Amino acid sequence: MPTPKISLKNEFSKGLVRENPVLRLMLGVCPTLAVTTTAKNGIGMGLAATFVLVSSNIVISLLRPVIPEKVRIPAFITVIASFVTIVQMLMQAFLPDLNDSLGIFIPLITVNCIILARAEMFASKHSILPSIADGLGMGAGYTATLFLMGTIREVMGNGSFMDIKLPFIGTGTIEPMLIMILPPGGFFAYGMLIALSQKLAEWLEKRNPDIKGDDSCAGAINDQTACLLCGACSLHKGMDEAAAEMRDKADNQKKDGDIK
Amino acid sequence: MKEMLIILFSAILVDNFVLSRFLGICPFLGVSKNLKTAMGMSFAVLAVMVMASAITWPVFNLLLAPNGLSYLQTVIFILVIASLVQIIETVLKKAIPSLYQSLGIYLPLITTNCAILGAAILNIDNEYTFLQSIANSLGAGLGFMLALFIFAGVRSKVDHADVPKFMKGLPITLVSAALVSISFFGFKGLIEKLFG
């Protein structure tokens, strides 16, 4: 293992670009599309998810020796759901407006694949400091992407930024495109951002062949109970292949268990 | 009865779970590559969704709410769904092995499908009665199936289209999802016309 300082920095920075959860790992797509109608909602959702991510990473990393292997997914989900409840109550009390506009997607952070995937892939295997760094990095990448998408959609669809009306737009010369803040605009903006990030990744790889994008499957959990379907894994490979891989992994796990 | 039909149809067409509420996007993009897997997944989602709503509604309204424990909603619901999926899987494996063969692989993936938890929470948030909840989740499941069915068809065409290199794969899929989503705007106002 390299010196802790370097690895902590690396754990943090990988979430921002190289393994950006939304654009590279394709995790947590539902809230990404649903709440990014304004830049403010994007930041709010991103911060709420980051809080849950970091806290659950801490707790899961600490409980690592205690949680039995077989029931770890339900245990993780319970930990995550508890933190989501805390966020929900805090938001209801202090940010009621944001709570109303995010609505159902606050409790749905529970089933956001990013958090479960990081718990399974990272926090359950590493000690507390790297887990915090990983949570913060992934959370920052998630928040930044949501903010970017929220900005694009709000500026194009509503002609405003952070609820402040922009000049020139909507005064008769340039009309905002309402469709961008409606559901189809979400799909469209996300598709375009992924296309751009693919282009960018290709360019980066060409410029510096040493830095290769990590295996995109890193984000998807490969356990039976998991959201394998959710990650970039299934999206690139297709369902049948992903399902076959999942069966293999499950069989191997069973075999390992028998040997133990 | 009329109210139930309104809830059912708006969940299928107007407020389609996938295309306008953005719930269950992951399976929508993940399994829509071919029609057979798409149908398998949607049947599993439909069944689990209706059952989950049928269980979570009484749990909330008879157990949690009267005892002032409504804040436990998220934790309890996700545990109920996870155990329900586990039970269905075990029962299916023993009782109907042939059905398990075809639907079994989708079941574990459903626990973390936000459409199921979403439907359960929406039923409570909208203060539906028990029967209205069932109608809502039935509609949501059928809407999911319809969206997946249409999109699997669109995708089989898109996969053979010649698109720019950087748009290949997910980006073009998302853009075509945007077009399918626009087509569902056509159903706006349907409910008023039919039942109003």
Q: Where are the domains of chain A?
A: 4-165+176-207, 216-259
Out of A26, A202, A224, name the one closest to residue B170 (CB): A26
Residue of A77, A80, A111, A197 to mutate when probing chain B, most B C-beta within 10 A: A111
Half-sphere exposure of A116 (CA within 13 A, CB side): 31
With beta carbons under 8 A apart, name residues in chain A contacting B27.
229
pLDDT in the model for residue A224: 34
B121·A195 Cβ contact <8 A: no
> Rounded to a whole number, what is the distance in Å from the CA of A236 to chain B's nearest CA?
7
Selection from A36, A130, A47, A115 nearest residue A82 by Cα? A115
> Rounded to a whole number, what is the distance in Å from the CA of B36 to chain A's nearest CA?
11
Selection from B3, B112, B125 nearest residue B56 by Cα? B125
pLDDT in the model for residue A96: 86
pLDDT in the model for residue B142: 92
Tens place of pLDDT for every residue, chain A, 260 residues? 344 454 677 777 776 776 777 777 777 777 888 888 888 888 888 999 899 989 988 998 888 888 887 777 778 888 888 999 999 889 888 988 888 888 888 888 888 777 877 777 777 777 888 888 888 888 888 898 889 888 888 888 777 777 777 776 666 677 777 788 888 888 888 888 888 887 887 787 777 765 554 444 433 333 333 344 444 444 444 445 555 555 565 555 555 555 44
Ranges of chain B with pLDDT below 70: 102-106, 108-109, 196
pLDDT in the model for residue A99: 85
pLDDT in the model for residue A38: 85
pLDDT in the model for residue B114: 80
B34·A239 Cβ contact <8 A: yes
Report the alpha-carbon distance of residue A173 to residue A155 in Å, rounded.
15
b/e sequence B119-140, b meaning 16+ C-beta within 10 Å: bbbbbbeeebeeebbbbbbbbb
How wide is the angle at C-alpha A20 spanned by C-alphas B178 and B181, nearest 5°?
10
pLDDT in the model for residue A214: 45
Selection from A177, A106, A191, A111 nearest residue A149 by Cα? A191
Q: Are the beta carbons of A250 and A224 closer than 8 angstroms?
A: yes
pLDDT in the model for residue A2: 42
The two structure tokens encoding residue A11: 């754990």
SS3 readout for A152-193: HHHHHHHCEECCEECCCECCCCECCCHHHHCHHHHHHHHHHH
A30·B25 Cβ contact <8 A: yes
A30·B109 Cβ contact <8 A: no
